[in-house]
Amino acid sequence: MPEMLDIVDENGIPTGRSVPRTVAHAEGLRHRTSHVWIVRRKAGRVQVLLQMRCAAKDSYPGCYDISSAGHIPAGDEFVGSALRELREELGVDASAEDLHECGLRRFRFEAEFHGKPFKDNQVSKVFCLWLDKEAEDFNVQKSEIDYVKWFDLDEAIRAVDEGTIPNCIFPEELGMVKEFVQKASPLGEAGREAD
């Protein structure tokens, strides 16, 4: 059975119509995704975890991407979907309280992958998750991800802005992550990491 997605309005509210994911991308129909950026402090610097998309992905194969992201199946919600993707893609068990909402993003673009047109029209809820764990200790979903790697946040922002790493990351979203970590209390982070 195909993966079904709710068609949504500009605020991410379902319209009552659902279509297969392939149809949403073929026709550019607006749907929802959850984006979770995993961050940590290491040696006094903030780092962000990026995943390397595997070569078989239907879009942006072989590119660095958000720590964990996924389409929201019909009938599901942003937070539940974010937590499920963390478990499936990275083997991370988190709770709703661990996710820090950074805002909503809307975007659309068209490209071609594997010889087929791809039209993406998303409403994405962006979250940050504090988690201090070494890259090799994540249990990555090999059908989706080749590996994960920590980058200093400022280095990741520069690499995305300058295009020095293959990526499908929106600079605005990394900006949301930077804004979140600048507002975060170091004491609050340490407490959450120790939980």
The per-residue pLDDT for 186 is 58
Q: Following CA atoms 60, 113, 70, 189 in sequence, which dihedral angle do they give, to the nearest 10 degrees?
A: 10
In tens digits, the chain (195 residues) has pLDDT values of 889 999 999 999 999 999 999 899 888 899 999 999 999 999 999 999 999 999 888 678 899 999 999 999 999 999 999 999 999 999 999 999 999 999 999 988 776 666 776 677 899 999 999 999 999 999 999 999 999 999 999 999 999 999 999 999 999 999 999 999 999 855 445 444 433
| Bridge partners for 65 per DSSP | 51
- CA distances from residue 77 to 31, 99, 180 in whole angstroms, order as listed: 12, 14, 22
Say how far apart CA 35 and CA 104 lie, in whole Å.
10
Per-residue pLDDT, 2: 84
147 sits in the region (left: phi over 0; alpha: psi -120 to 50; else beta) called beta
pTM: 0.88
- The C-alpha atoms of residue 154 and residue 47 are separated, in whole angstroms, by 8
pLDDT of 160 reads: 97
pLDDT (0 to 100) of residue 117: 65
DSSP-based three-state secondary structure for 194: helix
Distance of CA 119 to the CA centre of its chain: 18
